[in-house]
Amino acid sequence: MSRLETFTSNVVLSGLVTPAALDRARGSLPQVADSDAPVVLARLLIQAGAITSYQARKLLVGATRGFFLGGYRILRRLGEGGMGKVYLAQPEAGGELVAIKVLPPSKAAAEEQALHRFRREMDLSRRVKHPNLAKTIDVGRERNVYFMILEYVRGCSLYEMIKSESGGPFRVPDAAQFFLKVLAGLGAAHEVGLIHRDVKPSNLMVTPNGDAKILDLGLARMLGEEGGLTRPNVVIGTLDYASPEQLGDAARADQRSDLYSVGCTLYFTLTGHPPFEGGDVVNKIFKQRMDDPEPLERVARGVPSAFAAIVRKLMNKSPADRYQSCAELSADLARWTDPQVVRSIIGSAGEAARAFRPPPPDLDDVDLRFLSVEAKSTEGTPSLVANSLRDLGAAEPPVAPMHKPPPPSRLAVVVPMISDGATHRFKVRDERQRLAHFIAIALLLGVLGIVLLVVLRSFAA
């Protein structure tokens, strides 16, 4: 069987393309080498809107299953977290795009705790509804695959926005306005007793209209929950943003722990890096529990000391000395949403950071196709031959890069070895120096004693 026939068979088995659409694509296939034909046909199907580039990559490597789940058609992968993979999907009958969070069967089989946590997230996510919390539409199970149907939030994460080339730290008024929206959603969760336990920049989405959406309740718990799934001496959360008490005993974390994480995230938003950057796991835990970060007003331009004090209070090591609720923090943040307030305190330095610009709106279905026009042949007509599997990319996106690149290597300093003879000479010289010091001190004391005796005798006479 030729490569083209193999690929065509995979397309049919997948159920992604109707026979009529497949026949039309094959009818427009130009004369190409057998090795290029599958990629060219995949490209034609993408341009016709029959499949997405993600689906094409999977089909080209031989996959025929995994394109449908729970009545939804999987379009592409959005990301991956500690509790599963997230895909963009659409109802088979058509309709609005959604995000599907899937617990891989292999992970569920290998880690009993993972399955329990995922089921728990499925339950907790339906207990609270708020415009600033990503909505859970439905949950389900198909054979041995557990999944959740979530609202598809367009935009980018706060982390991506600040770390992008066109991004950077926020100005104080913009940060205050954005976090007021975050606190509105987080406060709604706290009101029903839900503690997030993983508030961080990558779990906060910035929508094209500048709104905020809180994602991922995979590590959440209910206040007063007994037993639970948190084991002693197990770190829950993200080290750069977890509170001291959460790192000590995650079962004790309450709403004030979430507010500590809000403080760390606000610190990142204004500086572009977490409060305690670098170091290994032990070092990060120690700093979160024992150290204070570099004062915000020193490391972030345009941040007044009074605003830095809000972040400092949020990150207090003692929960009793922090803000006690989202409402209390919101009252203080609301005073900083006016740029004139910041300008009246520190002048033009308040404009040092970037102005807030929401991410551009997503392209609807066009972003699921190739946007570039095919390379033209020497005759000036479009050519579909100059395509290869490499053009379509890998079947799965690579893991995101580390937040901080590894430090450059340093040249080693070579210390010459000292021979035994040289060591002996050093010891002899040291002993002679000590003996000379002792003799000098003894002579000095003797002279002082003689002088003292002469003085005493003169008084006696």
Catalytic residue among 36, 198, 216, 240: 198
Q: Do residues 132 and 184 make contact, with C-beta atoms less than 8 angstroms apart? A: yes
**Residue linked to tokens 């089989």:** 109
Q: Do residues 223 and 193 make contact, with C-beta atoms less than 8 angstroms apart? A: yes
Query: Which of these, 267, 317, 313, lies nearest to 294 by C-alpha position?
Result: 267
| Alpha helix stretches (DSSP H) within 61-154 | 105-110, 112-124
**Residue linked to tokens 């977290």:** 81
- Say if strands 221-222 and 194-195 run parallel, antiparallel, or are unpaired: antiparallel
Token pair of 314, please? 């949020």
User: 198 catalytic, yes or no?
Assistant: yes
What is the C-alpha to C-alpha distance for residues 375 and 291, in angstroms, rounded to an integer?
A: 57
What is the C-alpha to C-alpha distance for residues 180 and 255, in angstroms, rounded to an integer?
A: 16
What is the C-alpha to C-alpha distance for residues 18 and 15, in angstroms, rounded to an integer?
A: 7
Estimate the crossing angle of helix 172-191 against helix 326-333, to 10 degrees.
160
Q: Do residues 173 and 337 make contact, with C-beta atoms less than 8 angstroms apart? A: yes
Give catalytic residue positions: 198
